[in-house]
């Protein structure tokens, strides 16, 4: 038996023995090494997704680890291979899939939400979900490939081009990753963030950051763009004020990319959309090409993953890590170490 961190009900997690079934046809068994806790995991922790999550549920979809065993017909993978997982299982029959949008399948199984996730010492998944990692990439840093893939997809959905002015509203992990990916694409980027801790970290990573509580954003945008407004804004804060800011900073025919999960409807200034012919696009997940590009960006240091990791805790401390993340401002990314050594011994 091995250990798993499980969601039981709102604000209640535990660690308990778990059984890992041998991999069947088309499956592999993994030993997760590091698993990141993300904003969606926190939504689950708060009970906001109880209609979708079947407790007890093993969470976690930001991971890196190694192959342990392969199913009888799996030939492309070997024990010891370093991998991450694109945690999507689609049906290939719904209208979205038939139109080439499998990543937003209308019956999508998001592994780690709709089915058991990576926050356990052994994890069996479809071999088709594996993404190969370079041997030179440390596994703790590789755990940030999944959120980097989110950022790559977001920047692609917004159509960011070299030389464009981009505003990222929200300087949490995904916001910073979007800013870094957009900057790597040649954009001129500004991050809007209330937390002093997150502003400092973003500045240390070479990003220009604005404090909306202390600065006149309208005047900053006017001076920065010559009164033209930004070309692209990303709403990553999840707050009503963030939506207003993302709309207000845009210039004529600007594009707003909605990234954050808003648990309730928001008022939007549609007159601004009419008057400036703005465009709104949603960005939900990613595809394999986004993941492969993310691996490259993390491996070559474009994404300084080590600087984004605030803390690493053993699997037995995962419940406390969720509580620590609720404070938000002083923590960027917490990783859960699922290796046997981190727990002292498997149960």
Catalytic residues: 40, 43
Alpha-carbon gap, residue 111 to 113, rounded angstroms: 5
Rama region for 226: left / alpha / beta (φ>0; ψ in -120 to 50; rest): left
Nearest CA-CA partner of 20 in 340, 342, 344? 340
Provide, for the chain, the percentages of residues in helix, strand and coil under a 3-state DSSP scheme, each rounded to the nearest 5: 30, 30, 40
12-18, strands of its sheet edge to edge = 12-18, 2-9, 57-58
Contact 247, 278 (CB under 8 A): yes
Across-strand partners of 18?
2
Print the SS3 string covering 198-255.
HHHHHHHCCCEEECCCCCCHHHHHHHHHCCCCEEEEEECCCCHHHHHHHHHCEEEEEE
Contact 154, 185 (CB under 8 A): no
User: How many CA atoms are closer than 13 Å to the CA of 325, on its beta-carbon side?
Assistant: 29
**The pairing of beta strand 62-70 with beta strand 82-85:** antiparallel
Q: 137 to each of 49, 133, 144, 193, 285, how far by Cα in Å?
A: 34, 7, 11, 30, 23
Q: Which value, in Å, is the radius of gyration of the alpha carbons in the chain?
A: 20
């Amino acid at each position: 038996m091995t250990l798993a961190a499980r969601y039981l009900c709102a604000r209640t997690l535990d660690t308990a023995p778990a059984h890992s079934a041998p991999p069947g046809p088309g499956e592999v068994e993994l030993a997760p090494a590091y698993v990141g806790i993300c904003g969606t995991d926190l939504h689950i922790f708060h009970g906001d997704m109880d209609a979708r999550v079947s407790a007890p549920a093993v969470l976690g979809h930001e991971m890196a680890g190694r192959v342990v065993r392969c199913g009888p017909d799996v030939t492309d993978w070997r024990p010891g291979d370093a991998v991450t997982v694109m945690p999507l299982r689609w049906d290939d029959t719904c209208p979205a899939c038939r139109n080439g949008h499998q990543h937003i399948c209308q019956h999508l199984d998001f592994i780690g939400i709709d089915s058991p996730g990576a926050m356990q010492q052994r994890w069996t998944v479809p071999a088709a979900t594996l993404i190969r990692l370079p041997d030179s990439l440390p596994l703790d840093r590789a755990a940030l490939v999944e959120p980097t893939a989110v950022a790559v997809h977001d920047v692609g959905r917004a159509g960011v081009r070299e030389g464009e002015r981009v505003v990222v509203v929200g300087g949490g992990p995904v916001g910073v990753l979007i800013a870094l990916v957009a900057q790597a694409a040649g954009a001129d980027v500004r991050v809007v963030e209330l937390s002093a801790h997150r502003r400092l970290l973003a500045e240390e990573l070479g990003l220009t950051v604005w404090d909306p509580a202390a600065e006149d954003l309208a005047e900053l945008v006017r001076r920065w763009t010559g009164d033209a407004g930004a070309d692209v804004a990303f709403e990553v804060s999840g707050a009503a004020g963030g939506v207003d800011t993302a709309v207000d900073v845009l210039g004529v025919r600007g594009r707003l990319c909605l990234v954050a999960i808003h648990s309730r409807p928001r008022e939007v200034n549609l007159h601004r959309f009419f008057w400036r012919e703005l465009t709104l696009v949603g960005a939900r997940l990613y595809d394999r090409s986004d993941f492969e590009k993310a691996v490259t960006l993390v491996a070559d240091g474009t994404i300084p993953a080590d600087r984004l990791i605030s803390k690493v805790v053993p699997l037995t401390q995962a419940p406390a890590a969720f509580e620590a993340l609720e404070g938000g401002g002083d923590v960027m990314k917490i990783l859960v170490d699922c290796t046997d050594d981190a727990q002292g011994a498997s149960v």
